[in-house]
Amino acid sequence: MTALRRRLSALITAIAVILTAFAAPASAANLLTNPGFEAGSLSGWSCSGGTVVTSPVRTGSYALAATASGMEIGKCTQTVSVVPNTTYTVSAWVRGNPVYLGITGGPSTWTNAPSYTQLSLTFTSSASQTSAQLYLHGWYGAGTYNADDIVLDGPGGGNPGAPGTPGNPSIGAITNTSIALSWSASSGTVTGYRVYEGSTVRATVTGTSTTITGLATCSSHSYTVAAYNSAGESAKTTQVSATTTGCVSTGLPKHALIGYLHTSFANGSGYIRMADVPDTWDVINLAFGEPTSVTSGDIRFRQCPAAECAGVESEADFIAAIRAKQAKGKKVLISIGGQNGQVQLTTAGARDAFVNSVSAIIDKYGLDGLDIDFEGHSLYLNAGDTDFRNPTTPVIVNLISALRTLKSRYGAKFVLTMAPETFFVQVGYQFYGGAGGGDNRTGSYLPVIHAMRDALTVLHVQDYNSGPVMGLDNQYHTMGGADFHIAMTDMIKAGFPVAGTGHTFPGLREDQIAFGLPAAVSAGNGYTAPAQVHTALNCLARNQSCGGYTLRGGASPAIRGLMTWSINWDRYYNWEFQNSHEPFLNALP
């Protein structure tokens, strides 16, 4: 009996081991490379202001130390392959003031901890997602933070037996309501191809071409293609963009020179009479209309008093000069806001006052349209307002309503331009105000731009007075050279995921895009020498001289042009801006 008991005991133990193995599936692997920095380096990571240290560490011999100083946030990222429609867990042990952990385009969390504390979150990949980027960062000027033992847990991407990536698509025939696409065949066994716009499947075909129909007139679209079979789906191709035909012309030249004219105030650059503005300027923005109070919505415009601006013309001469410019095909707009003109349309009453007062200015001077130059704290997002397609914050909702009313009132030829700072647009790739954490103004222009995209004539983001901004290459870009203008403008053309929201901002038509820069060193931080501006334009318009940067949105031969602050500063510096750039713009394709 003793021997039998021993044999039965051994058999039961073996069965238990087998049952345990089947009952408890193996845990998913940490997909990160060098997750605890035990390589003694940043191998596998891309960091701005980061290094590996031996103290303080949580486990092992090394940890990350990254410094957020000035306009740097000390961001470190790593991208891994993931499986679509799959939930992943993310965690990191961190210490600092504060430290953020998140997934680009997905959820994030943060803490303010003097000693190592664990942050954790989960995210679910979308139906077409094959990669995810984990990030850690501090906050502007908050100093050094540490991180150790970082985990991104779940099944790795890649589907054995799935077909290879198809050839990049090309654009065929375009009509008012359709765009034709074609691509070369994928390698391997292919069941068919899916054409994506963002994460949405727009067509499923067995061949290597299709036509997307039912599109809006004069609307921009970006597509990728993936092959699939029973084993899974390939990686997606590079994105290609196109715009349907039927756009209404507002009378601007293909490539325009746009400038602000100091008409209501004086500064060191001197006053210029409207009649003395050279005809090289295609769009003249009158700076500025300002509110009677921050929340009144009541916008007023006056010419600069003679006591401040020597040589200011009479109102009659000013209006006559505007008519003369318009007779030559130039557009004259009223610009609302500026550095000192805070406009918060917090109520329906303020919205209506805005519409009525701006209309009165346009009618009095016979202007061609409106430029929105809201800065400072004019726009922001309330907590929880995370869908730029359906905003809920009153200052955003009321501005959109007001602009739609003005566009409807003045018709298709009404010129609408916007001049946001990078903080309110491109920074939305990393931080979106309504998603919580940090500054609630980040990305707050995006819902306005998106809502007005069919009515928007030109978006000329201010590529100046800006800190470093992360581009679509997930690298930081700084002012003053071609690189900054290329990366920032490409984001507007290609579109980008909006941080922490799960939504993607679609790119604009190329004819709606310009970029802004100071006319001279005294006009603002970020002055760029003419040769560097021309390098940027060659890259953006011709896909040449890009300096190693790959355009995600493709070449934009119809890019609208350049904006500057300001015409006055350009004259003060002997017209360097107009003399350098107007001939170059005219020579673009």
Which positions are annotated as active-site residues?
375
Q: Is 87 exposed, middle or buried (0-12, 13-18, 19+ CB in 10 A)?
A: exposed
Sign of CA dihedral 305, 306, 312, 315: positive
Q: Are 73 and 140 in contact (CB under 8 A)?
A: yes
Burial of 378 (C-beta count, 10 Å sphere; 0-12/13-18/19+): buried
Sheet holding 170-174, edge to edge: 170-174, 179-182, 209-212
SS3 of 134-191: the string is EEEECCCCCEEEEEEEEEEECCECCCCCCCCCCCCCEEEEECCCCEEEECCCCCCCCC
Omega prior to 566 cis, within 30 of 0: yes
3-state secondary structure of 52: strand
Q: Count Cβ atoms below 10 Å from residue 511 Cβ, excluding itself.
A: 23
Cis bond upstream, residue 288 (ω within 30): yes
Cβ distance 132 to 82 under 8 Å? yes
Question: Where in 2-71 does DSSP place strands (E)?
Answer: 46-47, 50-53, 63-68
Q: Which two tokens stand for residue 101?
A: 């952990």
Which distant-in-sequence residues (6+ apart) come within 8 Å of 203 by Cβ? 194, 195, 210, 212
Q: What are phi and psi of 128, to 5 degrees?
A: -120, 5
Please work out, in degrees rounded to the nearest 5, the angle formed at the alpha carbon of residue 481 by the alpha carbons of 476 and 484: 35
**Checking DSSP bridges between strand 458-462 and strand 513-518, what pairing results, if any?**
parallel
Contacts of 452 (CB under 8 A, 6+ apart): 400, 403, 404, 407, 416
Q: Which two tokens stand for residue 330?
A: 């130039």
Amino acid at 398: N
